[in-house]
Amino acid sequence: MNKVRASAAEAVADIPHGASLAVGGFGLSGVPEVLIRALHAQGTGELKVVSNNCGVDDRGLGVLLAAGRIARVTGSYVGENKEFARQYLSGELEVELVPQGTLAERLRAGGAGIPAFYTPAGIGTQIADGGLPWRYAPDGTPMVTSPRKETRDFSGTSYVLEESIVTDFALVRAWRGDTHGNLVFRHAAANFNPLAAMAGRVTIAEVEELLEPGELAPDAVHLPGIYVQRVVALTPGEAADKHIEKRTVRL
């Protein structure tokens, strides 16, 4: 039952080239920075990433993106990452943009064993009708576009069928966790981390504070250890290394 690994490098060592990867975090909040950098250090590439956004130019998933290690991104927000936009528009990166709530539910459904679900989000747009550019050709014309999705009416309202997401691995960051993999997330870090963890066949969690079994109150647990296969304890310095995506200063 002890799921603790000695280091982040050991925890990600078997992630192969071409793996699909769900990554938690929202902006730069709750991003598994240490695991991402360990993956970068070992040279893994051609990754198919599912995450709300792709970090910024030198933080979060932006580290892997800048190194050319990501082949495809499924996300809802390009954010402040200029390299992300450049690679997408130049045809170097395939991007599937998904409404944020739909992305969250596709991850949750994958973890719950639900293959697909109907949602009204996207009806009447290219989300349902197809034609969204997923990859551009070097000359700037769309080379790969999204397919038309199945739609259906329920009680007079139209809905689009969205397939759930299950990935080979998931990387998440938690505030507290025990050696059995039970996790607690803090504030904005609760966005997408529990959902990404549910969607991964093998989920690896970096935790700021590692506890023994029984030290977490059962009703405080946000994600049960059944969804987590590996745990890495952060050093105090790693836990404190947090960045703000866009700092605002008021005089």
- Where do the H-state alpha helices sit in 113-154? 126-129
Radius of gyration of the chain (CA): 18
pLDDT value, residue 66:
93
Q: How far apart are the first and last CA of the chain?
A: 52
Q: How far apart are CA 242 and CA 245, in angstroms?
A: 10
pLDDT digits (tens, 9 = 90+) for 22-60: 999 988 889 999 999 999 999 999 999 999 998 887 888
Q: Provide the residue type at 49 as one letter.
A: V
SS (H, E, C) 9-23: HHHHCCCCCCCEEEE
Please determine, for residue 245, whether its predicted confidence score (pLDDT) is greater than 70. Answer: no
pLDDT value, residue 113:
97
Q: Are 181 and 216 in contact (CB under 8 A)?
A: no
Domain ranges of the chain: 8-115+164-240
Share of the chain above pLDDT 90, in %: 83
Q: What is the DSSP letter of 113?
A: T
pLDDT value, residue 251:
65
pTM, two decimals, is: 0.93
Residues 6+ apart with CB under 8 A from 61: 23, 31, 36, 49, 51, 53, 54, 55, 70
Q: What is the mean pLDDT of residues 200-212?
A: 97
Query: pLDDT category, 240, cuts 50, 70, 90?
Result: low
Using CA of residue 41, residue 210, residue 4, residue 23, what is the dihedral sign? negative
Residues 6+ apart with CB under 8 A from 107: 22, 50, 164, 165, 192, 195, 196, 198, 199
pLDDT digits (tens, 9 = 90+) for 149-169: 999 999 999 999 999 999 999
Output the CA–CA distances (angstroms, integers) from residue 249 to 58, 127, 220, 246, in the order listed: 22, 38, 34, 10
Bridge partners, residue 162, by sequence:
117
CATH of the domain spanning 8-115+164-240, picked from 3.40.50.300, 3.40.50.10860, 3.40.1080.10, 3.30.110.30: 3.40.1080.10
Residues 6+ apart with CB under 8 A from 45: 17, 67, 68, 69, 71
Q: Are 77 and 52 in contact (CB under 8 A)?
A: yes
